[in-house]
Structures are given as C-alpha cells and as structure tokens.
Chain A
C-alpha cells in the first residue's frame, strides 16, 4: 500500500480524473447537444435549448424504423441474457469437476472470445448459406412444394444472429463462473451433504442461492453485450436489423442532432438497465449475507 499523501498519489489521482473525463466527456457532450434548438447543428455552441430533436425522432422523420429495431434488440437481448445465464451456470457447475474434454472446451471458449469478430461472422454466414442450399436441393430433389415455393433462408435473428451473439456472451459468463467458484467456500456445501442433502438439493438450496448475485452479473453481461453487439452479428441477422446495425448505418447518413437524441435515449436506456442489474445485485447480496450470518 502506497501512502496517500505522496507525490505519486496526486499524479495518479489526476491521471485517473483525466481518464474518467476522457471516458465520459464525449458521452455528456452528445447528451447536452441532443437538446439543441431547432436551428442547432452537430457541434457546439448550443443554439437554444429544446426537445425538438427528440420530437423529430419520435415522428421518425426520415429515419429508418428505429422503434421496431429497438424492440427487436430488446427481445434478442432478453433471450440471449436468459440463455447466457442458464448455459453458463450449468457449464460452470460441470467445470467444477474435471470431465473429458473440459480443457478443450475451455480453450474453445477463450478462443471464441478473441477470434476476430468479422471472421466468425463470415463463418456463420457461410454455414447458414450452405444450409440454405442444402435445404433447397433437398426440396427440389423430393419435390416438396413448401420448400420450393416458400423457403427463403435460415439466416435470421433468432438462429444465426442469436448463436453468434452467444459465442460472445457465453465466454464472459463462464469466466465469471470460474471466478465465483475459485472463491467459493465449500464448507457450506459439505455441511449440506453431511445433513443428508442430495447433490441436486445441495445445488438448488445451497450453491445457487450463494452464487445468486454473480448470476445477476452474468445476466448484465448477457443482456448489454447482446443489445450493443455489432461486429459479430453484422453479417448474420438476415433480413432484419438490430439497433446497433441501424445506428451504424445512421452515422453515415444523418447530419442533424437527431442522431444525438437517439444516442442519448439508448445511452440512458443502457444506464437504466445497468442500474436495475446493480439494484438486483445489491438486494440479493444483502439477503444472502443475512442468510449466511
């Protein structure tokens, strides 16, 4: 531990403050600028103060259908969150004991985290394209009319899109589970077993409640990373677009503060989501520490 009063302390304190400004400064500048007056532009100074651009956004003036993109992203984020939590917790429990292929699965998970997103996006797009062609060939071969006339593609938000996002959220989930179980006090579990609880009872009534706050953390990663994901899913969403994909498109076409209004709304929404998760985390850890006392 370094001494608080030293010269180093002030140097690093100032450094940290500057870093925080660097992180948040730009964000606050667009929040401020989204309240530009009707004649205001993309930069300072503020030309009046109004809700004009939020109104424009609400009317959907010239902007693609942001509302439905938002709803799609919300739904996808929710599904990805649930799957991330369930699959990560299950896998985390499995990883507590060594099993065949555990090492390989762990390395694959890490590899998925660091493989360039565009490569994965391309691979999944190829996979589903080949799947499409196989299905079409199959339909023609057996003369299945439904396939010949109606089949379009297997690429879609809840097939390729969701799977690709899971390869990004699940590694975080598993890493959190590892971190949790590395610090896990096994004596509660032993006690439950000594009292005659079965494995399942132990997990359901002892292990899961203890790790519950961390599960909230996995949920936070699952939802927010899916909701903001862009690079991996860019090629595999099929006919529909998620909010981040629409946003990227808007950066090149929109030249009014309407994009700041949109940025403000999504950012505030993200903050609200993060806040909700933290509240849940806090409530759960409080009840947990009461229970363990």
Chain B
C-alpha cells in the first residue's frame, strides 16, 4: 500500500507554478517590454513600434560637453546618489546600533521579541501618513522651531526643516531603518554566544569583540540591509515628492512625470538606465554573500 501510494506521490514542484506565473506576468514580461519600448517612437497620443535611439540620446543631450555645466541628467543622478549615500550611512549606523542592543544587551527572549516588534509595527502602517506626521514637528511653526525659539537658540523659524533635502533624508531614514535592523539582527542572532563568552574569558574588551567578532560575522546582514535601502532610495519618487514639497528632482520622479505626460518610451529609457545602475550596485554588493544561506 505504502509503496503504491509512494508511486503515485504527487510531484510538488507544480505547486510553485501559480507563484511563478505571477512573477512571469507581472515582473518578467513588464521588464522586457520596458526595454523594448525604450527603443520605440512616440507622439502626443500614441507609442509607435520602432528601433530608434533618440530616447537615450535625448536623456544624455549635452552631457558630454565637459566645458559646460553638468547636464540635467547627471545632476539628477548625482543628487539621487547623494540621497542614497546619506540614507545608507544613517540607516546603517542606527540600524546596527538598534540590532546590537536587541541581540546582545537584551537578555530575555520575550523582551527581545517585544522590542523587535516595537521597531517593526510602523512598517505595517501607511508610509504617506508617516511622512505627513512630520509636518507638525518640522513646519515653520512646528514644535521644533517653537522649542528652539523658546529656548532662545534661534530668532526666526528655520525654513529648511520641511520640504527640503533634510526632511527627505529624515523621512527616508524614518521609513527604511527597519530594512537594516531586520537582516543585521538576524545575522547577530546566529552568532554562537560561546564565541563571545570565549573572547571575554580571553580578556577581550567590548569594543574588541564588536570590531573583531560581531561586525565581521554580521557582514551578510549588513549587505542585505544595504541592498534594500539603496535600491529603495534609488527608485524613490514618493518620499522625495512629498517631503521635498515637489521641488526636488530624482530619477524616479522624472520617470513618473514622463509617464503622466504619456511619454512612455522616454520613461522606459530612463527606467532602463536606472535599472542598469541599480543592478551594478547590487552585483557589487552581493559579490560577498549567498542570500539564501542567511534565512
């Protein structure tokens, strides 16, 4: 009986079929179409199949005259990379410190879980509302300005708290530090505690343990978190839009604007370039680790 039923055992691989179909229809095909359409022509109301390079040429127009000012495209990319870098450094420092506290200073598992959930719950709430909630704090007559004036530190309200590069980066850090905490915390929890006890017994200080044991062993978590944060900021247009008061440029916003004007092939060309740069960043980062081993 058992043998017979084993013979008719269902193969389980087909269970992945619906899952795979979703990614084929809503991920693989769309990306291919984006690449194809980036070589198409368009007019005011329709897109026209073609094989032209104008969309790309247009993007880099005037970018290679090195005597002139930086072109719009390069400026936008530089500013996006600048947002990436700052957000990355801040989320890494904050995320690492939080994970370090949770993993090595909190002793009991229930407390650990509770504190971890405190970090996670905002992730399940609305991003837009989390951005809006900075307005009463950072606005012209916001809490921060009022407090600073009350304390006599400044005389007139600081204008650059809101709708500025500062507020964009603040919101990005606010929204995405969790992407650092989770993988780094995961890496830390996998470190065998006896290694650390051993290092203590051998006379190592806390700082030595941190730099010689914990940081090297957390490398995979740091890399995964960094990939998340960098990619999410590279393509961002919502946070930069809302927190930048629709005044700052980013690649994501360019694509978004072009789409609103139905310049789809132009948007596609920009998307291909953005994708290309993102892939380069990811490949550079993943050179070191096997993501699957980290779960």
Listed in ascending order, the chain A residues whose CB lies under 8 Å from chain B are 1-2, 4, 6, 8-9, 12-13, 15-16, 19-20, 22-27, 29-30, 33, 41-44, 86-88, 90-91, 93-97, 99-102, 105-106, 108-120, 122-127, 129-130, 160, 163-164, 166-167, 170, 174-175, 178-179, 182, 196, 198-200, 220-221, 224-225, 227-228, 230-231, 234-235, 243-244, 247-248, 251-252, 259-260, 263, 266-267, 270-271, 273-274
B246-288 near A? 1/0 per residue, CB < 8 Å? 1000001001100100001001100100110010001000000
**Is B66 located at the chain interface by the 8 A CB criterion?**
no
Contacts of A23 in B (CB 8 A): 118-119, 122, 174
**Is B75 located at the chain interface by the 8 A CB criterion?**
no
Partner of B23, one of A26, A108, A247, A251: A108
Q: Are A266 and B126 in contact (CB under 8 A)?
A: yes
Contacts of B193 in A (CB 8 A): 1
Closest 9 CB pairs of A and B: A116-B235, A123-B30, A99-B13, A94-B16, A26-B133, A91-B19, A163-B26, A12-B101, A224-B124
Tell me, in angstroms, the Cα distance from A105 to B26 when the chains sit together: 14
**Is B2 located at the chain interface by the 8 A CB criterion?**
yes
30 residue pairs bridging A and B, Cβ less than 8 Å apart: A1-B196, A2-B104, A2-B105, A2-B206, A12-B105, A16-B97, A23-B118, A23-B122, A24-B122, A27-B133, A30-B135, A44-B142, A94-B15, A101-B20, A106-B292, A114-B231, A114-B232, A115-B231, A127-B29, A127-B33, A129-B264, A167-B27, A175-B295, A178-B292, A220-B124, A227-B126, A231-B236, A248-B242, A266-B129, A270-B126
Partner of B26, one of A93, A106, A124, A228: A124
Q: Are B256 and A105 in contact (CB under 8 A)?
A: no
Tell me, in angstroms, the Cα distance from A115 to B35 when the chains sit together: 14
Instruction: Using C-beta atoms within 8 Å of the partner chain, give the interface range for chain B.
Output: 35 or more
Contacts of A87 in B (CB 8 A): 18-19, 22
Q: Are B16 and A91 in contact (CB under 8 A)?
A: yes
Residues of B6-53 whose CB lies within 8 A of A: 9-16, 18-20, 22-23, 25-31, 33-34, 37, 47
Contacts of B268 in A (CB 8 A): 122, 126
Tell me, in angstroms, the Cα distance from A266 to B295 when the chains sit together: 32
Q: Are A267 and B125 in contact (CB under 8 A)?
A: yes
Residue of B nearest to A263 (CB): B129
Tell me, in angstroms, the Cα distance from A12 to B131 when the chains sit together: 26
**Is B237 located at the chain interface by the 8 A CB criterion?**
yes
Q: Are A228 and B127 in contact (CB under 8 A)?
A: yes
**Is B134 located at the chain interface by the 8 A CB criterion?**
yes
Q: Are A44 and B143 in contact (CB under 8 A)?
A: yes
Q: Are B124 and A13 in contact (CB under 8 A)?
A: no
Residues of B93-139 whose CB lies within 8 A of A: 94, 97-98, 100-102, 104-105, 107, 115, 118-119, 121-122, 124-137, 139
Partner of B33, one of A118, A123, A170: A123
Decide: A90 near B13, CB < 8 A? Known: A126-B34, A248-B128.
no
Contacts of A174 in B (CB 8 A): 19
Contacts of B267 in A (CB 8 A): 122
**Is B168 located at the chain interface by the 8 A CB criterion?**
no
Contacts A94-B14, A108-B27, A123-B30 supplied; 17 other A-B pairs, CB < 8 Å? A1-B196, A12-B105, A27-B129, A29-B137, A44-B142, A90-B18, A91-B19, A108-B20, A109-B23, A116-B231, A122-B34, A123-B33, A228-B128, A231-B236, A231-B238, A247-B128, A266-B129
